C-alpha cells in the first residue's frame, strides 16, 4: 500500500485534499478512489500487453458508469458477468464489441440482450450453454463469437472460495476426460457460433506465475488437438485474471509488464513446440487495476480495551462495506489519518457496527493508544470487491464512491439513503 501523504497539521491528504475535509463533505464511511491512479494502471496494462493482445477489465471488481468511461478512454475492454454489469457498460457507452460476457448460468434474457447488443464474445461455461447461445444467436440471425471456458486442473495457491481451476468446482468444462474437446466439437458444428478461442481463469489474488504457466500449456495443448482433429487453428486464448495486489506490506505483486512478458513467452514457446501460430492473448485483471486505487475512510465510534487481549475499535461501517475479511480471512492494513500521534502502538481489531461478532474489517493492526471516538482511520486497497460486494445487512446504507482527481472530488456512486431502502419495500 502507498505511504500516506500528510499536510502540515498531520492530516492525511489524497490528491491534494485532506481527509478531514473529505469526511466533512462526503461523510463516512466512504470509498475514495484515485482516478489518475486508475487511469495510470489501465495504461500500464494496455501498454504492457501491446497491440497483439487485449486487456479486459473485470467489472465484478468494481463497476460504475464513470469506470466504464475511463476504461473506454484508456483503450481497455470490459469483462461483464451479469445482465446488470452488461447494462451498466452499454449505458455508459462501452462499444459492445469490446465487451466479453461471462457467467456459469446466464439467463436466456441475458444471452439475448448480449447477442442483440453485439458483444465481442460470450464465454461458454457448459454444454447446455453452448446449445443455448447457438440457438438464441441463430434465432436472431446472428453468428455469435464465443470462447469456451475450460478447467485446466491447476490448484491455485489462494483461498478455496476464489480458486477456480481445480476440477471440483462449478466453473468451466474440464480438459480432463476429453470434455473440453467434446465442447469444441459441438461448438464448431453449430451455425449460430463462431468459436474464436479457449478461456481459462485459475483463481484470484495469485502471485506465483507457475499456475498461469501450467494453464497456458494445457490450453495450447488443446489448441493443438483441435488443429489435429478439425484442421482449425483457433485464433485466441484468454488466460483470465487473478493477479494479486499488495493488501499489506508482506505482499509483493508483479508489474503488468512482467506479467505480459511471462505470459507471452510461455504461450509463444508452447505454440512453437506444437507447431501452431501464436494466438492472440487476452487477460482479465480486475483487482490488479482497481484494488489499490481506493481506500475506505471510517470514523471511530468506540474504543474498547480488553485486558490482556486487544483493543476493539468500532467504526461506522463494517462487513456491509467490506465482506472480504469475514469471507476470505483477507488481510488489510489500517492507519490513523485525521492527525498524527506519538502514543505507543496498541494491538487493535477494527470491527464494524453490525450485529455479528465476525464483523471484522482488520483482524490485527497496531493503532496509537490515544485513539479516540471521532478519529478518522483509513483502510487502503479497498477498490476491488468491497463496494461491488457491499450489502444492506442490518439495513446498512451502502457508502458512496468518491473519485478524486487533480485536487477535486466528485461522487461517482452516491450514498444510499433510507428512501432507497424503503423504495424496494413494497409490502
Please pick, among 42, 81, 271, 355, the residue that the annotation labels catalytic.
355
Asked if residue 79 binds ligand LLP (CB under 6 A), the reply is yes
Which run of H or E residues covers position 111? helix 108-117
Report whether 328 belongs to an annotated binding site.
Answer: yes
Site string for ligand LLP, 4-43 (x = CB under 6 A): ----------------------------------------
Report whether 285 belongs to an annotated binding site.
Answer: yes
Query: Of 41-49, 57-65, 250-258, 360-368, which part binds ligand LLP (CB under 6 A)?
Result: 57-65
Asked if residue 285 binds ligand LLP (CB under 6 A), the reply is yes
Of residues 291-310, those binding ligand LLP (CB under 6 A): none
- Cell numbers given for 265: 513467452
CB nearer to ligand LLP: pick between 32 and 385: 385
Taking the C-alpha atoms of residue 238 and residue 258, their distance in angstroms, rounded to an integer, is: 17
Asked if residue 324 binds ligand LLP (CB under 6 A), the reply is yes
Torsion of CA 168, 170, 176, 182, to 10 degrees: 160
CB of residue 274 vs ligand LLP: minimum separation in angstroms?
A: 24
Provide the 8-state DSSP code for 171: S
CB of residue 354 vs ligand LLP: minimum separation in angstroms?
A: 18
CB nearer to ligand LLP: pick between 386 and 402: 386
The SS3 of residue 172 is coil
Taking the C-alpha atoms of residue 10 and residue 16, their distance in angstroms, rounded to an integer, is: 13
Q: Which of 211, 242, 352, 368 binds ligand LLP (CB under 6 A)?
A: 242
CA triplet 302, 304, 309: central angle to 5 degrees? 150
Report whether 287 belongs to an annotated binding site.
Answer: yes
Measured between alpha carbons, how far is residue 422 from residues 7, 395, 427 in Å?
41, 10, 10
The SS3 of residue 6 is strand
Asked if residue 317 binds ligand LLP (CB under 6 A), the reply is no
CB nearer to ligand LLP: pick between 241 and 256: 241
Query: Of 179-187, 197-205, 269-277, 406-414, which part binds ligand LLP (CB under 6 A)?
Result: 197-205
Taking the C-alpha atoms of residue 421 and residue 192, their distance in angstroms, rounded to an integer, is: 42
Helix spans in 59-174 (H): 65-73, 83-91, 108-117, 127-139
38, 289 contact by CB (below 8 A): yes
The SS3 of residue 367 is strand
Report whether 374 belongs to an annotated binding site.
Answer: no
Query: Of 199-207, 212-220, 306-314, 415-423, which part binds ligand LLP (CB under 6 A)?
Result: 199-207
Residue 286 backbone phi and psi in degrees, to 5: -115, -70
- Taking the alpha carbons at both ends of the chain, their separation in whole angstroms is 46
Query: Of 43-51, 225-233, 286-294, 407-415, which part binds ligand LLP (CB under 6 A)?
Result: 286-294
Of residues 360-419, those binding ligand LLP (CB under 6 A): 384-385
203, 172 contact by CB (below 8 A): no
Report whether 332 belongs to an annotated binding site.
Answer: no
Report whether 242 belongs to an annotated binding site.
Answer: yes
Whether 271 is a known active-site residue: answer: no
Q: Could you give the residue numbers annotated as active site?
A: 355
- Which residues here bind ligand LLP, judged by CB under 6 A? 58, 60-61, 79, 102, 162, 201, 204-205, 240-243, 284-288, 324, 328, 384-385
Binding site for substrate, residues?
287, 324, 328, 356, 385
Amino acid at each position: 500500500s502507498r505511504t500516506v501523504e500528510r499536510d502540515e497539521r498531520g492530516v492525511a491528504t489524497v490528491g491534494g485534499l485532506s481527509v478531514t475535509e473529505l469526511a466533512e463533505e462526503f461523510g463516512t464511511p466512504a470509498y475514495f478512489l484515485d482516478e489518475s491512479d486508475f487511469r495510470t494502471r489501465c495504461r500500464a496494462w494496455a501498454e504492457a500487453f501491446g497491440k497483439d493482445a487485449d486487456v479486459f477489465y473485470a467489472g465484478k471488481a468494481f463497476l460504475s458508469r464513470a469506470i466504464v468511461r475511463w476504461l473506454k478512454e484508456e483503450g481497455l475492454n470490459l469483462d461483464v458477468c451479469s445482465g446488470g454489469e452488461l447494462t451498466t457498460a452499454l449505458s455508459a457507452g462501452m462499444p459492445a464489441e469490446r465487451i466479453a460476457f461471462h457467467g456459469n448460468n446466464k439467463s436466456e434474457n441475458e444471452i439475448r440482450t448480449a447477442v442483440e447488443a453485439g458483444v465481442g464474445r460470450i464465454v461458454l461455461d457448459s454444454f447446455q450453454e453452448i446449445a443455448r447461445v447457438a440457438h438464441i444467436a441463430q434465432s436472431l440471425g446472428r453468428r455469435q463469437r464465443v470462447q469456451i471456458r475450460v478447467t485446466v486442473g491447476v490448484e491455485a495457491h489462494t483461498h478455496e472460495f476464489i480458486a477456480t481451476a481445480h476440477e471440483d468446482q462449478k466453473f468451466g468444462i474440464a480438459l480432463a476426460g476429453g470434455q473440453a474437446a467434446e465442447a469444441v466439437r459441438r461448438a464448431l458444428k453449430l451455425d449460430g457460433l463462431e468459436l474464436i478461442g479457449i478461456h481459462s481463469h485459475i483463481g484470484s489474488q495469485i502471485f506465483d506465475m507457475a499456475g498461469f504457466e501450467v494453464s497456458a500449456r494445457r490450453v495450447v495443448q488443446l489448441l493443438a488437438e483441435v488443429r489435429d482433429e478439425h484442421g482449425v487453428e483457433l485464433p485466441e486464448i484468454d488466460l483470465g485474471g487473478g493477479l494479486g495486489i499488495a493488501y499489506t506490506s508482506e505482499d509483493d505483486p508483479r508489474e503488468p509488464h512482467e506479467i505480459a512478458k511471462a505470459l507471452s513467452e510461455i504461450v509463444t514457446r508452447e505454440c512453437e513446440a506444437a507447431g501452431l501460430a501464436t494466438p492472440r492473448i487476452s487477460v482479465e485483471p480486475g483487482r490488479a487495476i482497481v484494488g489499490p486505487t481506493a481506500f475506505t475512510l471510517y470514523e471511530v465510534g468506540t474504543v474498547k480495551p480488553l485486558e490482556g487481549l486487544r483493543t476493539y475499535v468500532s467504526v461506522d461501517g463494517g462487513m456491509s462495506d467490506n465482506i472480504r475479511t469475514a469471507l476470505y480471512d483477507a488481510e488489510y492494513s489500517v492507519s490513523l489519518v485525521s492527525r498524527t500521534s506519538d502514543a505507543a502502538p496498541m494491538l487493535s481489531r477494527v470491527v464494524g457496527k453490525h450485529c455479528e461478532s465476525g464483523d471484522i474489517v482488520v483482524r490485527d493492526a497496531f493503532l496509537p493508544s490515544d485513539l479516540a471516538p471521532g478519529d478518522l482511520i483509513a483502510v487502503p486497497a479497498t477498490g476491488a470487491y468491497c463496494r461491488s460486494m457491499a450489502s444492506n445487512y442490518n439495513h446498512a446504507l451502502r457508502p458512496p464512491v468518491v473519485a478524486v482527481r487533480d485536487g477535486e472530488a466528485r461522487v461517482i456512486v452516491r450514498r444510499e439513503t433510507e428512501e432507497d431502502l424503503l423504495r424496494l419495500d413494497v409490502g
